[in-house]
Amino acid sequence: MNDSLALCLVAASTLAGFSSTLHAAPAPQTAAQTVPAQPPPPPPTDAERIRQLEAQVQELEARLKEAEADLIAAKERVAQLEGTPAPQPAGTVQFPILEPGDTITSVEQFLNTTRAHYTRDFPPVPDGADPVSPVALQRAVDKWVTATNRAWKQPLRWTVRVQRVERSGDDLIVTAQALNPDDGTLRGEPIAVRLDRIQSKRFEQSVNRTGAGGPLSGEWIMTGVFTPRLAVNMRRMGQSVFNNPPLVGPGVEFGYGVSVDAFAPVKPQATKNKTPAPTPAP
């Protein structure tokens, strides 16, 4: 019996050692076992998305400008082949072309004049000729804009028709449209001018003296100073979708200022050589 008990103890000890060996040894990897997958990349942040959208918008704008430039060049080429003048940009009003020293009678007239002078001073490059370098073009455009702004600043005396009057603090914003005093035809689009506190009081006094018609009736004389404010923008080399501000020519945007000195109603002229009414027969 002692021998049997000893054999049992030896067997139990052997099994315990073998069991601990099995638990300590790592399980061998088989060929079929796969490597754990890498975690997915984090989604782009809002700032990264905005940068991506801005890049896409810039690319689309560049393509649009190229398409607009190609369209304008194609129209000019077709006009040359057909022997007819190229169509003017939308909103252009045809006026006689002025020369420095002439009197500006409306904003549209000056815009049309600057466009004509730009085309004259910067003619299109002939086919096959070397294009002007961007640096040389910008230098020439800078000089042209400076000279134009200096040459065309002048006093103004326009006959206008008032369309709207709005108050802005002590000032008045008057929207008026220039017209031809000889035949009453309108000249260009309306413009808005500011009257300071003193000018506003004088304007209101003049309105009260004109009668019940108010400022929207009759004609007014607007005197002041017209100041050209053309600006260089070499990023605009062709007409844009909204064309605001208007484009004079490649690299030049249109602008102006009107400083009002006085705003007075036109005095009615007495009728001369009025034929007397016939005397009824007795």
Asked if residue 175 belongs to a domain, the reply is: yes
Asked if residue 56 belongs to a domain, the reply is: no
State how many domains the chain has. Answer: 1
Asked if residue 15 belongs to a domain, the reply is: no
Write down the pLDDT at residue 82: 40
Tell me the average pLDDT of the chain: 77
Does the pLDDT value for residue 122 go beyond 90? Answer: yes
Residues 202, 180: Cα–Cα separation, whole Å: 24
Asked if residue 43 belongs to a domain, the reply is: no
* Residue span of the structural domain in which 228 resides: 107-123+134-265
Asked if residue 76 belongs to a domain, the reply is: no
Does the pLDDT value for residue 27 go beyond 60? Answer: no
pLDDT digit string, tens, across residues 203-230: 888 888 766 466 777 889 999 999 999 9
Report the sign of the C-alpha dihedral through residues 124, 125, 131, 132, in that order.
negative
Sheet holding 171-178, edge to edge: 191-195, 171-178, 154-168, 220-228, 256-265
Q: What are the two backbone dihedrals, phi and then psi, of residue 149, each rounded to the nearest 5 degrees? A: -60, -35
Asked if residue 138 belongs to a domain, the reply is: yes
Asked if residue 66 belongs to a domain, the reply is: no
Does the pLDDT value for residue 78 go beyond 90? Answer: no
